[in-house]
Chain A
Amino acid sequence: MQTTTALLQVLSSGIGTGAVYALVALGFNVVFKSTGAMNFAQGEWVVMGGMVTALLIGTFSSVGLAVVAAVVLVGVVGLLSERLTVQPLKRPDALVITLVTIGLSIVSRSLVMLVLGKKPVGYAGFSGNTALSFGGVSIQSQTLWIIAITLAFLVVMHAFFERTILGKALRAAAADREAAAIVGVNVGSTVLLSFGIAALAGALAGAIVTPLTLASYDQGAIFGFKGFSAAMLGGLGSLPGAVVGGLALGLLEAFGSFYISSDFKDAIAFAVLLLILFVRPSGLLGRADIVKV
């Protein structure tokens, strides 16, 4: 019964989900690189992206404009969050920042609930709710949009980190804060920037996935959890790692629930995640930290 078309169907669904996980993982990685901390508010920004887009769609009438406006708006929320919670820290070490972001996520969730409401929201896909059929394999046009937009965003991010002064400064600060500060990099602003980028990536993920899945204020934790797992799987701090980790997790979930059992979908995905981390503690593409003692 498990024909090739069924296999391709599951494959396409895994890639679509994986692309979203990759964007969320990217947000984790950017903040990890600049601060060494896990940003647990990442998932809330995904929800905000979807819910703000849904709110703005009435005003802008075009989905594209609403998405751009929502992503920029949530990006600003990311910047504000850093200024209000991380920057005032006297001793901003990784553990303290991680703990602060847990608080930030709870506050963000409550604000989303109070400002944007408790009801799940959704909107039509960027090319309507159409599905394309490729020889028996049916793919939502929105899934193709997700894959294309994720790819485009990753290319832009890659160019940013490799080509621009700002991107290089961010990488320099990530590699060695003190050395970067000595050569004139404003280390404080690189942390700010990384929060902004992380919020952009999260909001974009939320805005493009909402037509398929709806958005409601309480989904943030699960998105954060999946994105965090994807980042771990791919290797923390690595941009290609986010892509590999996201896709791997998406495919694991899809094939796990297809071939084994949908009852144990998450269990299968996380069992494999644990196994990989036993063998490669730094993730698939991560480089092991070498500490001289």
Chain B
Amino acid sequence: MQFGRRSFLKMVPAAALTATGTGTVAGLWSSAARAAEPLRVGSILSVTGPAAFLGEDMKAGLELAVDEFNAAGGMGGRKIEWTYYDAESQTQKGITATRRLISQDKVEVILSGGNMSGIALAMAPITNAAKVPFISSEGALAIVTPVAERQYVFKSTVDDGDVLERIADYLDKKKIKKVALIADTSGFGQGAVGQMKIVGPKRGLDVMYESFAPSDTDMMPQLTRIRDAGAEAIICWTVTPAGVVFLKQAQQLGLDKKTLIHSYGFVSADYMKLAGDAANTLLLASLKLPVGDQLPDSDPLKAGILKLMKAYEARFKRPASIYAAESYDAALLAREALKKVGGDVSKLTQGMEQIKDFPGISGVFTFSAERHSGLSKQDIVLVNWRDGRFNLADYA
């Protein structure tokens, strides 16, 4: 008897639905079911291997974003279901994991591409071909260019060309013309070399180029050449610990009396501590996050930065890095884009292209159909390392 009653009760709504089952009602019902279905978001991160120190922070940034957004109703009205794979700092593993995200997990958006430009560069054509929007938190400009072949790919990071323009502004101010760029042989370093060959002549800089392998333990030959050539400013472009070797050996040769500049790839308190007093005269071209509290109140980013810093530190017991902000921004951008197109994931790219003057954490984003990279040189400041923290040294 009991069994019979239970099955009867179950059948009631089904029967009622069939009875009144006109096209419109059925349609509404299924669209409501789709809205309740979670939004599948995937990420590729390198939480092991040489880029692991970036990957941990980017993962934390995404975790924070996913939980915050879900608590506030998710993205485009749907809860986020987040899957990530470890690329182990290897391009091949990143590619395999991307295919898995697309074909097996059927993700609808990809945020972050392995926290290495090389991996993101390899992922871009794959996600583009699969028409899965990919918001990269990696650096290289070629991830999103040419736009005609990267309709579904965007990036939340600053372009090397803009950073170099910003450094050129500073050098102008200091009347420095003779510059050396010493970059590592990775995609990140060599990307900057390519951009400098455009920016340098345009800004009337006399640039000499040197390079080093990320695993190098000695840069004396390169630095001796730079010293002998009489460069007044030396720009180092790397994310690897070799950048500490650069600082120590530059100091050894007395080059710390020149202007030493590291890129945004080196803004890490750990590296500064390892460099010790060799970092005393160093300037870093950085995003605004590490000096958020020192920004003027008129800065559009200040409030957002302070809010993220607080939430991040409370949860992960360490200060937020610019890398955590880059992946957090990727999520923020995806949400903003979905807002613009009424939560329709199939139109997410159009939504992205409509984003204008949107204050994220790393900077103020503006995308367009021609430009899939949203930041500008206004988002870069020069900072130094004093009293155990980064300080604002040159603001616009």
Chain A residues engaging chain B, CB cutoff 8 angstroms = 1-3, 6, 9-10, 12-13, 16-17, 20, 113, 118-122, 124, 129, 131, 138, 140, 209, 212-214, 216, 218-219, 222, 253-255, 257-258, 262-263, 265-266
Contacts and interface: CB of A to CB of B under 8 A. Distances in A.
Interface in B238-268: 241, 244-245, 248, 251-254
> Is the contact region of chain A dominated by helix, strand, or loop, or is it mixed?
helix
A265 B218 CA distance: 11
B374 to A, nearest CB: 30
A255 B221 contact: yes
B241 A120 contact: yes
A117 B217 CA distance: 20
Contact of B221 (A124, A218, A262): A262
Contacts, number: 89
Given A13-B220, A262-B221, A262-B222, 12 more contacts: A1-B229, A10-B221, A10-B224, A17-B217, A118-B53, A119-B270, A129-B248, A129-B277, A213-B218, A214-B244, A214-B274, A218-B49
Interface residues of B, number: 36
Contacts of B215: 219, 222
Interface in B196-246: 210-213, 215-218, 220-222, 224-225, 227-229, 241, 244-245
A216 B278 CA distance: 20
A13 B245 CA distance: 13
B276 interface: yes
Nearest to B273: A122
A51 to B, nearest CB: 12
Contact of A138 (B241, B245, B253): B253
B88 to A, nearest CB: 11
A262 B211 contact: yes
B291 interface: no
Best-surrounded residue of B220, B229, B245, B277 (most CB of chain A within 10 A): B220
A9 B210 CA distance: 17
Nearest to A218: B50
What is the interface of chain B mostly: helix, strand, loop, or mixed? helix
Nearest to B222: A262
Contacts of A122: 244, 274
Contacts of B220: 9-10, 12-13, 254
Nearest to B185: A263
A16 B227 CA distance: 20
A129 B221 contact: no
A123 to B, nearest CB: 9
B184 to A, nearest CB: 11
Contacts of B244: 120, 122, 214
A214 B242 CA distance: 8
Contacts of A20: 217
Pick from A12, A16, A212 the residue with the most CB of B within 10 Å.
A212
Contacts of B224: 6, 9-10, 258
A2 B228 contact: yes
Q: Which of A1, A140, A254, A263 has the most chain B CB atoms closer than 10 A to its own CB?
A: A263
B241 A13 contact: no
Nearest to B274: A122
Nearest to B271: A120
Contact of B48 (A113, A214, A258, A266): A113
B186 to A, nearest CB: 13
B221 A13 contact: yes
B50 A119 contact: no
A138 B217 contact: no
Contact of B217 (A12, A129, A213, A218): A213
B392 to A, nearest CB: 26
Contact of A3 (B52, B228, B253): B228
A216 B253 CA distance: 25
Contact of B211 (A209, A254, A263): A263
Contacts of A118: 48, 52-53, 56
B248 A212 contact: yes
A124 B276 contact: yes
A202 to B, nearest CB: 15
A258 B221 CA distance: 5
B57 to A, nearest CB: 12
A137 B210 CA distance: 21
Contacts of B245: 212-214
Q: Interface centre among B48, B217, B251, by most A CB within 10 Å? A: B217
A13 B48 contact: no
Interface centre among A10, A213, A258, A262 (most CB of B within 10 A): A262
A17 B276 contact: no
Contact of A13 (B218, B274, B276): B218
A6 B224 CA distance: 6
Interface string B138-176: 000000000000000000000000000000000000000
Contacts of A113: 48
Contact of A265 (B213, B252, B254): B213
B18 to A, nearest CB: 59
